[in-house]
Chain A
Amino acid sequence: MTEDEHSPEGMTRRQLLRHTAWFGSAVVLTVTGGEVLSRIAAPDDAAALDDPNALRFVQVSDSHLGFTGPANTAVESSFSAALTQINTLGYRPDFVMHTGDLTHLSTAAQFDQVKQMMSTLDTGHVSTVPGEHDSIDDAGQKYRKAFGAGTAGDGWYSFDVKGVHFIALVNTLSLEKLGHLGPDQLEFVRKDVAKLGSDTPIVVFSHVPLFAMYPAWGWGTDDAAQALSYLRRFSSVTCLNGHVHQLFTKTEGNITFHSATTTAYPLPQPGTRPAPAPVTLPAGKLKDALGIREVSYRPGGPGLAVKDVKLA
Chain B
Amino acid sequence: MRKSVGVKHFLPITATVLTVAACSAPPPAAPSPAAPMTSMTSMPGMTPPPSPTAAANSTANAVAIKNFAFAPATTTVKKGTTVTWTNQDQDAHTVTSTGSGGPLRSPTLQTGQSYQYTFSTPGTFDYLCTIHPFMTATVTVTP
Contact = CB atoms under 8 A, between A and B. Distances in A.
A64 to B, nearest CB: 10
B75 interface: no
A274 B24 contact: yes
Interface string B15-31: 01110110010000000
Interface in B89-135: 89-92, 94, 96-100, 107-108, 128, 130-135
Nearest to A3: B90
Interface in B61-81: 66-69
Interface stretch (B4-12, B32-40, B50-58): B4-12
B41 interface: no
A275 B13 contact: no
A242 B100 CA distance: 25
B10 A21 contact: yes
A105 B18 CA distance: 30
A214 B14 contact: yes
A277 B131 contact: no
A136 B98 contact: no
B5 A18 contact: yes
Nearest to A174: B99
A2 B94 contact: no
Interface in A249-277: 269-272, 274-277
Interface stretch (A22-30, A41-49, A159-167, A190-198): A22-30
Given A271-B21, A274-B24, A22 B99 contact: no
Interface in A1-41: 1-3, 18-23, 27, 29
A1 B67 contact: yes
A19 to B, nearest CB: 5
A132 B131 contact: yes
Interface residues of A, number: 39
Contact of A132 (B88, B90, B133): B133
B13 A175 contact: no
A272 B128 CA distance: 22
A1 B66 contact: yes
A137 B107 contact: yes
A244 to B, nearest CB: 11
Contacts of A275: 67-69, 132, 134-135
Contacts of B136: 177
B91 to A, nearest CB: 6
B3 A22 contact: yes
A128 interface: no
B93 to A, nearest CB: 10
Given A21-B10, A133-B131, A214-B14, A176 B92 contact: no
A274 B134 contact: no
Given A136-B130, A177-B136, 15 more contacts: A2-B66, A21-B7, A22-B6, A67-B91, A70-B90, A105-B108, A105-B131, A136-B131, A175-B96, A175-B133, A214-B14, A270-B14, A271-B20, A274-B67, A274-B69
Interface of B: 2-3, 5-7, 9-10, 13-14, 16-18, 20-21, 24, 66-69, 88-92, 94, 96-100, 107-108, 128, 130-136
20 contacts: A2-B90, A20-B10, A21-B3, A22-B6, A23-B6, A69-B90, A136-B94, A175-B100, A175-B130, A176-B99, A176-B128, A177-B128, A216-B17, A218-B134, A271-B17, A274-B21, A274-B24, A274-B69, A276-B68, A278-B91
